[in-house]
Structures are given as C-alpha cells and as structure tokens.
A and B are shown apart, each in its own frame.
Chain A
Amino acid sequence: MSVQPAMPKCWRVESKPHKFCPGCGHGLVLKALGQAIDELGIQDKVVFGCDIGCSLLSWDFFNVDTVQTHHGRTTPVITGIKRANTDVIGIAYMGDGGGYAIGAQHLVSAATRNERITVILVNNTQYGMTGGQMAPTTLPGQKTETSPYGRDVDASGYPTQGPEMVAAITQEGAYVARGTVANVKQLKGFIKKALENQMAGNGFSFVEALSTCPTNWRTNAEDTWKFVEKEMTKYFKVGEIKVPGPREKEGQ
C-alpha cells in the first residue's frame, strides 16, 4: 500500500494533477502557499490573482476565489479588490517578468503606497511560457533564447534584485523575504508571515521564491537542483530582508 503525500486542504482536487511541466517549481510554491492558507484558516477570505505566463496555469488551482489577469497587471487587480473590500486577503501571484519587467511600475507603486496585499513572485530566471527568453532575473552569462551567447551585463544590465528593491522603497509595516523551492518548509514560513502581515493590516508583503524551469534550462534533475541551489543563490540571497517595525530614524 502506498501512502500519498497529503495535499493542502485548500487545493482543488478536480484540477489535479496540475498542468505545470514535470520538475517545475510552481507546484512547490503553490504547495507552500496552500499549506500557509490551511494553517491560517483563511480559505474563505483569500482572493487569489495570477498573472500571464506559467503562473496563469494556477487559475483553477485552489478552492479559493481566483482571477487570472494580464501580464504584469495582477498587482493592480488585487489592489483594486482589496481597496474595495478590505475584508479579503488579496494575493497577487506572478513570475519575474510580470513583477520586474512589464509590471514593475505596479509593483513599485503598490509597495510605495504600502498596499495591504501580499505579492508572491516566482523567479526562475527566464520567461517560461513564451519559450525561455531572457528575463530581468537572468543571471550574468546565462544562456536563453534571446541571450544565446549568455547574458551580457554591458548590453542587458544586471539581474533585478527584487526583494532588495521592495525593501528599500517600503515604509514600516512591510514584510519582504526571499525563499526557494529547495527549502519548501522555510518558504512556507515566509509566505505565512507575509499573509499574517496583511491580516494584521501592517502593510505591503512581498515574497520572492527562487524556482526551477528544467524545460527551458534544458537540465536534468541533478543539474536543475544544482542551478537553483548553487548558482541562483550566489546572486539572490535567501532569507528575510525586512520585517514589520518602525524604521530607524536618522541619527538615532
């Protein structure tokens, strides 16, 4: 008799198995999110928004009210919902393109305004659904379909340090962390704290999750984990970057 690993209770059984590629990190991020929702007992309060790109495949992933929006526009949609109904717990779920390229103005502005929403951004260093083009998070030297000889930082700049940027532009009450699918337990903890921060009405909450794309990386299991655990973490430091509390005043 085999024992199946337990699914989060808020996962929608009817839409499983999910539609992500084998080895994709989205399933693990959504598992962490599902467990966090279960543990906080907020399934009846959550409104989940997903972006365009691979994240859109989560449009019917949970037994929670969900809206799948346009590329980069999930943050304003969830902002609009939260502003109109402060009782909901709004989660905007997106990839690195949706958050750091086409939707950067929305991320920056929502963070600056300290919107009481939670943004979860999945960073797999490239555009997955459109076939593996360069993203704002592509590592220096990394080959993609639009940087076939490796990302040239002179021509394309350096990878976006998203959580560091959000931490710098948010005021007190914001929560910012970077987790990884290589440590789902820790990632769940970050997501849980980000949701609790919204529930407490403190301010903007942002979690970046380092994730995998063996399809476009063209990696086997071993190389996939090596890339996410060793290569990505050299650039993208895992851990809590900002926790709620008053900012230190200058000179103190």
Chain B
Amino acid sequence: MPEKPIQGEKRVFMTGNEVVAWAALAAEADIMYGYPITPQNEIMHYWTRMLPKYGRRFLQTEDELSAGFTTAGGVLAGRRAFTATAGPGNTLMQEPMSMAEAMRLPVVVIVQQRGGPSTATVIYSQQEVTMTTLGGNGEGLRVVYSTANHQELFDYTIKAFNTAWKYRFPTFVLGDGYQAKMRESLTMYDPASRGITMVPTEPYVGKEGTPGVDREPTHLRNTYNVEEELFEVLEQYLADYAKAAPEIAEYDAFDTDDADLVVISHGVVSRACKAAVKELREEGYKVGYFRPITLRPLPVDQLREVAGKAKQLLVVESANGQLDRLVKEAIYGNTTEMLSLFKPGVGVTTEEVVARVKEIKG
C-alpha cells in the first residue's frame, strides 16, 4: 500500500494547479484523464510526476471530448476519476457531461476559467459560469463550486469527489487563471485527519458475478423511446436534485443584516469585494457582503433573505452578467434595485468596487 501523500497537516506555498493535483491525491482519486489547455496544464504536470509514487493512473487523450468520455468510463468502472479543462475545452466537455447527467455519473471536473468567447485569452475570466452551471442539452443537473483562494481549491477539490459520489451528479470546481497560476500559502491535510471520510466508490459495470446468471446485468442508456419514459426518469432526477440542493448549497456573508446595499460576487472577485465592503464600513457606508460558494445549486433561500432586507444589490463579476442572471432568477419577484459592475474577462480590484459603491451612493 503506497504511503499517504499528506501525513497530518502541512503548511505550503504553491500554485493553484499544484494545489489541485495534491488535493486529488489526498482525496484518493485513482485516475485522471486529460487534454492540455491553458491555464490548467500544471494540474496534469504535477499529477503525472507524483502518480508512480502513489499508485495512481493517467491517460492523455486526443481531445476534451475524449477526456470527458474516458473520465465517464473511469467512473463507470468504479474509480474516483477526474479531469480538468478551461475555455474551449470546457465547451467540448459539455457533451460528455450531458451523458454524466443522464447516467448520474459522479465525474469531477476542475475548470480554470480563461477569457472567452472562443480562444480569447489564456489568462483569466469568470465567463464560464453559464456554461459550467447550465451547459449541455438538459436541465443542468450538476454541482458547481466556485473557489476564491488556494485553501478553498484544496478543500473543495476534496469535497467535490464526496459530493459527486454521495449525490451522483457531475461536480465541477470552478477556479480561474489567476488561481491556477499564482502562488499562495495554504494548509494541506489528510482528509482523515480532519474527520473527512471519502465516500466509497462502486462500479456501475464490470461488477462481480455473471450477468443474467448470478445477478442482473447493468444496462445503462441515455436514449429513450417515448416522451413519457424520459419524463419519468427526469422527474426522479429533478426530485433528487431538489432534495439535495439545500444540503449542497453553500455561501459566505457578513454585514448583511443592516445593509442598504449588498455586494454579491463569487470566486476571486469576492476577495476584492470583501476588502471593499470592510473599507466602506469603516467609512460609515451601510454595505454588506454576500458570496455564493455553490453557483449550482445557488443558496436560493439565503439570497432571497438578503435581497428582502437590502435596498440595493450590486453584482460584481469578471463577466457581462453571468452571475447576475443566476441571482435574478433566484430572487425572482423581489423588487430590490439591481446594480452592476461587470468587467468581462478582466480582473476587479478593491478600489474599483469602492469607487462603484461611492458612485451609487453619491
């Protein structure tokens, strides 16, 4: 039995991509399937360097379609399998993720967002929110965690495997180019040392015994003959998702109780927003901070509560309203004024958020 990659706890200073590779190791991931695309490449680089020591596996596929479908195959075989991608690769990966939704496959995908549309930049954006939360030709039966720092990249990569295998929905960790490439300090740990038990995996196909003799064969499909047959399946899936959603949804918030204006953001942009809200509070502005950690499912009840108390909501994102659309849908019917600071494909600074709030408040 190979030794555990991380014994107890360890303080480290490393890039986000390196963090993801370590987190997947710590989470007992068995196999990664991947195709190179910037800015996620180093996840594969670190994984392939470490895997012989820890008895893990890797396959470099011919494209992201194949990376997604081979990852689905790894899960079908009962392995804790994952892949990583970005931008145009994420676009291609929506096809295999549709199959994962259809077959309830706990595939884990790390997305390090880059600019869009198309090849755009290889650097940074928050423009893969709509695609990652709702991509595929279905209902978006998936889980998306949006991380803000390296500690969360580590924590939520581990958590993604457990959420995926517990609820059997494909699960994404939505990072970005900044998180992928910059170095930051964090504490890595063996999940067991913090009382985290990895949800056991099990094979869908290739199980023990002879099918039709000792047991029923597994017959998985994603094609249905009639509308009603599909409807019946989806009714169950949607009920499962609705039941799981409040258990999965996570958020972070402060100073929202007496706030006139609440700043809503996600991912690294929430770091600028957090600092801005603290600075504005010190200057006497009644502002609050709200950040959904899960973008799918959203923490709908908490968002509605915040929207119900505040007079204004300011959505800040490095995209042209992708988070904004999700928030508006979640708080539908609420008449609180919606304001925005959208910088598609560009980072947002604390100073810009402060200036925008002051512009609104006069």
Contact = CB atoms under 8 A, between A and B. Distances in A.
- Are A and B physically bound partners? yes
Interface of A: 10, 12, 43-45, 47, 52, 56, 59-60, 62-70, 73, 76-85, 87-88, 105-106, 108-109
A66 B216 CA distance: 11
Nearest to B209: A44
B213 to A, nearest CB: 7
A64 to B, nearest CB: 5
Contacts of A69: 69, 99, 222
B69 A76 contact: yes
Interface string B60-79: 01110110011111101111
B360 interface: no
Contact of A65 (B33, B74, B218): B218
B25 interface: no
A70 B95 contact: yes
B81 A84 contact: yes
Contacts of B62: 105-106, 108-109
Given A60-B219, A63-B212, A65-B211, A88 B78 contact: no
9 shortest interchain CB distances as A-B pairs: A80-B73, A63-B212, A80-B70, A109-B62, A84-B77, A65-B205, A76-B69, A44-B210, A85-B77
Given A83-B57, A84-B73, A66 B217 contact: yes
B223 interface: yes
A81 B76 contact: yes
A223 to B, nearest CB: 30
Contacts of B63: 105
Interface residues of B, number: 43
A47 B72 CA distance: 14
Nearest to A60: B219
Given A76-B70, A79-B70, A109-B66, A84 B205 contact: no
Contacts of B99: 69-70, 73
Contacts of A52: 223
B200 to A, nearest CB: 16
B220 interface: yes
Contact of B206 (A77, A79, A83, A88): A88
B213 A63 contact: yes
B59 interface: yes
Contacts of A67: 76, 103, 204-205, 218, 220-221
A80 B220 CA distance: 16
B358 interface: no
B205 A88 contact: yes
Interface string B37-74: 00000000000000000000101011101100111111
A141 to B, nearest CB: 33
